[in-house]
Each structure stands twice: as C-alpha cells, then as structure tokens.
Structure 1
Amino acid sequence: MFELTEDQLAMRDLRLAAYHEAGHKAMYHRFGGAGDAVVWENLNRSPDEIAWRGQFRPRTCPQVMHNTATRHGMPAADLPDNWRTLYGMAGLVAEEILRGETDPDFVAGALDIKIACGEVSASDLKSMGITNIADFELNSEEVEQAWRFLLEDWSLVQEEAEYLIAEALEQQLHHRQAYSPNVIVKCCP
C-alpha cells in the first residue's frame, strides 16, 4: 500500500486549501465582487488536523456593486439569485476539479458527503444557505453551474492558487529560518 509522508500530506493540504480559496475568489469576482484569498500553516495542529488553512476575505460584495451600478444608471450584468450559493460551494467544487473529477453529478455527490460528514466550514455552509447538516438538500443543478463556471475560469483559479502556494511556502521558510535554533542573532555590536 502506498503511504504519503507527513511532508507530502502537508503539501496536499496546502494545494487543496489554495485551490479551495482560489475557487471562492474566482466565483466572487465572476459576479462583480472583489476580495483576497489567503492560506497559512496550521502551526499548532493536532495530528488529526489539516496542515494548512485558508480563507477568502471579501472586500466588495457583488450585490452591493450591482445595486450601486444600477442605482447610478451604469450597465451591470444580471446577478443570479443563487450567486451566494455558487460562491459558497465554489471552494469545494474547485477541490474536486483539482482532483480530476469531470462529472458534475459525481462532484455533487462528493459535496453531499462532505457536508453530511461535517467536513465543510461554517462560512461555506452559511453561504450555501445550509443551516442544518442533518437536514439539507444540495441542488445538483447549482453544483453543475458552479462546476461549469469554475472550468470556464480555471486558468484564473490555477494562477491564484499557485500564487498562494508560492507565498505560503515563502512565509513558511521565513518563519522556520526566524525560529530555527541554529540561527544566531547578534543584538549588540
């Protein structure tokens, strides 16, 4: 049986976190919003926790941008009623695309299982409108719509994710160098 080393598992976690957050960012931007994706090392993790965490930090809301443009007579593309749901599931869908899944029905099933097993963040659940994981119904047409949008924007997702990975590894290197016991710091001349 093939087993991954701790470093390989950590790198897998980093890639998933980066693509997850890049998926949120791409979907948010698709609908006219803006924000920043970030990933960081989970330094105080227990053995059963993931090695890397991430977050998408919105700056401008698509709904607010759409309403403002409309109010001032500026052209604005229609904002679908389900944009929040699509944004909320985009990270999970991006993870499945990264894994090579090409069937949106399979992706919907994978998301269904993750949600039912409690493997989805509270913020993603909230965006998807899921308040009770014991009683929810995932709309497979919405999953397919998110999947299609992300495939259309996949080059942007990849670019952002690879940037996040490079930045995270750079930060990790700096952190390790700064706290390495072999580093001698002279504080006095």
Structure 2
Amino acid sequence: MKDDFKQDYDFELRLASESEIASLAEHLARKNWERTQKNKEDIELNANAPEALDIIAEEKKAILDLIKNKVLVQDYKKYKASIFVYNYIKEQNKGVIATMTLRVIKTEYGMRSLNHEEIVLNLKNLKKLVQNENLQDKGRPKGPGNRALQRTIEIDKYLESNPKKDMDNICKEFGISKSTYYRTKWWLKGKVVL
C-alpha cells in the first residue's frame, strides 16, 4: 500500500521543518485574528496595523508553545499538497491532560484547517477544497468545534501566566465568547478519559 502511494502520489511522510512550522503557526494565528474581526473590510483595513501584528505575534507564540515543534507532514508531491498533522497538548490537572489532533492542508492555492469529519479529500480539486473553508453543515453540532476547543486551550495556557486578567477581555482578545469558553471547558471536563 505504501509503495502504491509513493508511486501514484509521490507520497512522503516526514517531520516538518522549522520554517514550515513557523508558516503553519503564522497561518493559524492570522486566521484566529481574522475571526475576531467583524467583517471583511475590517480585515483588509487592519491586517497590517501594529496592534493586529502584535496580536498575531502573541497568538503565534502561544500556538508554537502548544504544538511543541512536533508536526508531521504528509506530502503528496504529485498534487503539490501537504497535510500538516499536529497535536495541542495541555495538562488540565495533575495526571489529566487534554490532547487534540488537528490538520491543516497546504496547497499552491493557500492553506486551510481541516475538520475531523473531512477524511476523504479530492486531490484533483484542491482549489475548491481550499476555497470552501467557510462551508458548514446544518443543525446543532454534537460538541464544540475545533476553533472553540483550540481557543479554550489557548486561553487556559494564557491564564497560567496572566491569572488576574478579566475573563471578558481575555475572551474578546482571543475571539471567542465567554459562554462558549465556559461551555467548551465544561464539555472538556466530561471527556476526561480514565
């Protein structure tokens, strides 16, 4: 099977380089910042503002701290596509950890986070795959989304070094509502595996 992948897709499984990890963290930090903006005009106007660049730099630092520079890359060289697989790992309590595996696809058309439900990827139509980032299924989700989980873990990490900050401002800074933060935190407590 692995030989077929090598032959058909020019497939390689490897660890990401430091520059790839930095570009992944930059992409994630920028996307997180974009989600905090009210509309597209705000994103275009403020993308290079000093405040935005400071927030993105802080986000990038937090993301790099969470992924611990261990990113696996699935390279599909024939299609000029790479899938970055990384873990967010954080200790919740003594002897209890939160771990979440996430994926981002990188193509010549850009980068995009993949949901856990996206397990079948059409490599022949990568442009459409990367452009359809905002498509969502209908109905109430069974649990918090990747973004809410990621933000909650990042806020918890941030609170370790800044415990006296106001939760309203922290949640606003990270682009998540306070109720979503607490609901996700409650959901995570129910998912502790013994």
TM (normalized to structure 2)?
Answer: 0.30
Q: Which has the higher strand share?
A: 2
Q: Which has the higher helix share?
A: 1
Larger radius of gyration: 1
TM (normalized to structure 1)?
Answer: 0.31
